[in-house]
Copies of this chain bind each other. A is one copy, B any other.
Amino acid sequence: MAFTRPGAQVGDLQTFKAAFFKALAHPVRIRILEELVHSERSVQEIQAALGLEQPIVSQQLSVLRANNVVVGRKAGVRVRYTLRDQLVADLLDVARQIFNNQLAGTRTLLRELQKEHRQRQSRR
């Protein structure tokens, strides 16, 4: 694990927080979370939605599990994953607002982002 190195000279609480953010800091893991915001999903379903190999998905899920971001519940041969805390959805929303401000000006990403935003609005 990173950050466990001596000399860091910063409180354990910040180390803990950093580990949490680090758990989100990967494109595949972000995509997985965006799936789970909608509802629970099996590994298969995530795999299909993202178009990735099964081991990759399981690996990234295991990072999210290790950091208590998601929980896996066995259902027969399947494992159904959910967000451990629904506040993660809020976190992603605040992040989205920040990106939205930040990207004002850079066109391509902005269009994608606003598409996401419209989808969120119409879901309310």
Q: Are B50 and A109 in contact (CB under 8 A)?
A: no
Q: Are A20 and B109 in contact (CB under 8 A)?
A: no
Bin chain A's interface residue count. Answer: 35 or more
For residue A91, which residues in chain B have a CB less than 8 angstroms away from its CB? 91, 94-95, 98
Q: Classify the secondary structure of A's interface with B.
A: helix
Q: Are B18 and A25 in contact (CB under 8 A)?
A: yes
Q: Is A6 an interface residue (CB 8 A)?
A: no
Q: Smallest distance from the beta carbon of A118 to chain B beta carbons, Å?
A: 14
Contacts A91-B98, A98-B20 given; indicate if A109 touches B27 (C-beta within 8 A): no
Contacts A85-B98, A95-B17, A99-B17 given; indicate if A28 touches B52 (C-beta within 8 A): no
Q: Are A85 and B102 in contact (CB under 8 A)?
A: yes
Q: Which residues of A contact B (CB under 8 A)?
A: 3, 8-22, 24-31, 34, 50-52, 68, 84-85, 87-88, 90-91, 94-95, 97-99, 101-103, 108-109, 112-113, 116
Identify 28 residue pairs between A and B in the complex whose beta-carbon atoms are under 8 Å apart, listed by A's number: A8-B28, A10-B27, A10-B28, A11-B27, A11-B112, A12-B109, A12-B112, A13-B109, A14-B31, A15-B27, A16-B103, A16-B109, A17-B95, A17-B99, A18-B25, A18-B29, A18-B30, A19-B25, A20-B99, A21-B21, A21-B30, A24-B25, A85-B98, A85-B101, A87-B94, A88-B98, A91-B91, A91-B95
